[in-house]
Amino acid sequence: MVRVRFAPAPTGALHIGGARTALFNWLYAKHFGGKFILRIEDTDIVRSTNKWVKTILEELKWLGLDWDEGPYFQSDRLDIYKRYAERLVKEGKAYYCYCSREDLEKHRRKMQRLKRRSVYSGTCRELTPSQRKHYESQGRKPTVRFKIQHPGTTVVSDLIRGTSSFDNSILGDFIIIKSTGTPTYNFAVVVDDYEMGITHVIRGEDHISNTPRQILIYKALSVDPPKFAHLPLILGQDRTPLSKRHGEISITHYIENGYLPEALVNYLSLLGWGLTSSPQILSREELIKDFTLERVSKASAVFDIEKLLWINSEYIKRMDISRMTDICITYLKKVGLVEFNVKNSWFKEVIKLYKDRLKTISQIAEFASFFFEKEVNYSKEAINILNKEGTSQVLKKVKERFVEQEDFDVFSVEKTVRSLALELGIKAAKIIHPLRAALTGRTISPGIFDVVSLLGKERVINRIERALNLLKG
């Protein structure tokens, strides 16, 4: 049975990279009918907060990455780590270290100055009982360090990158329990992954150099390590690791700005992974069916918002119109553009006009505002069109026709405008452009006959009158 986990630290919102890691774990579990476990790694007491835990859970739920077990919290499991650490000390595989942070920092700086790799010097490796007693009497709180066996080599085999070996001497005796009694990342992960029966550790490439340390802990504990798979990193446009500098990277931002979860999932799945036949739009089911770690690429991938936007627009185009309408109404209410009692059937017609034009749901507010606002705001370009010679004559004529007209459906409106153009001996465009400017305040809109029809007789006439007044003044 495949058991995988996603283990975020609640020190910030879920970001693009974390979401991708979660997604790949989730896909792997689903593909093999295994379990996806959520574990919160909150051993950094200072930076971890409950607020972020809540945010991360919400973001995962929005993405549809439901977990089968958890969330487990490492902060609830401190006794377990302590027990394992004590066992290692008893077996001579770990030891208490009384070195102060200052001493360690000094050593680190010295090694840096000498351009040497900084590894723990092993000062406390062979303390005698009386030395320990002496330190204890000074009130020093020890850390627990893992004893690295060297000489020796540790081989890491990775499902994505094959094997690579590390000389143990570069590892250094690392801390597994902090002086506060909480475990460090490397130790807690191993204990948890073992206790939780994790079979595959799928995580970011930045963890690759932690892996030999973790393997040595598994060995010391006399248990088999899980299989490892390190995913390539996600980079920004400048090929440095994706961060806030590159723009919005929190999932919350994408939730709030009109992206669809299935679109984001689809895009994320394509970052560092691809099919032989390369369709780009893949449903959740197709992803689950086709996902394998063998197809994950080794090279890091650049996050491309343009492609995400394209995928999002594809999902918008394919979306059921009723659902689309609901989502848009919810969004427009949120930004205060529409009242709470909007007429759904009318609204649906408006949304239909924009379905093929939106890249994000939030663009509806920008593109269609003139449908919802009482007063039209005229853009500079629209005013230019209105100011063209003969415009007011044309607008007056159209207005007259509209006043007389009973039916305001799209066909009737189009017929009216086109026959007027014929009568006046001008091109329909000569009427359409001023009309658009007058009704929408813009030079860009969906088809003008749809706009006229949906705006309705009263508003259309009012707006034309207002535009005419504007021209006089």
Active site residues: 244
Number of other CB atoms surrounding residue 253 within 10 Å: 14
Shortest reach from residue 1's CB to RNA, in Å: 25
- Asked whether 186 and 221 are in contact (CB, 8 A), the reply is no
In whole angstroms, the minimum distance from the beta carbon of 310 to RNA comes to 4
Q: CA torsion sign, 114 to 119 to 125 to 130?
A: positive
Partners of 420 in the β-ladder: none
Helix runs in 270-390, H state only: 284-290, 305-318, 321-334, 344-354, 363-367, 369-372, 380-386
Complex with RNA: residue 340 or 373, whichever CB lies closer: 373
Contact 192/161 with Cβ under 8 angstroms?
no
Report the nearest approach of RNA to the CB of residue 473 (Å).
Answer: 26
Residue among 332 and 437 whose Cβ is closer to RNA: 437
CB of 419 to RNA, least distance (A): 14
Closer residue to RNA in complex, CB, 247/344? 247
* Spatial contact of 232 and 299, defined as CB atoms under 8 Å apart: yes
CB closer to RNA, 56 vs 338: 56
In the complex, what is the shortest distance from the CB of residue 377 to RNA, in angstroms, rounded to a whole number?
Answer: 17
Sign of CA dihedral 13, 17, 23, 25: negative
Closest to 90 measured CA to CA, from 78, 82, 79: 82
Give the Cα separation of 121 and 443 in Å (integer): 72
Q: Where are the alpha helices (DSSP H) in 368-427?
A: 369-372, 380-386, 391-404, 410-424
Identify each DSSP E strand in 120-226 by its residue range: 143-146, 153-158, 162-167, 175-177, 200-204
What is the enclosing helix (H) or strand (E) of 231? Answer: strand 227-231
* Smallest gap from residue 188 Cβ to RNA (A): 7
Angular region, 222: left φ>0, alpha ψ -120 to 50, beta rest: left
Q: Minimum Å distance from CB 301 to RNA? A: 3
How distant, in Å, are the alpha carbons of 231, 373, 397, 439 from that of 450? 49, 17, 20, 12
Of the pair 172, 226, the CB lying nearest RNA is at: 172
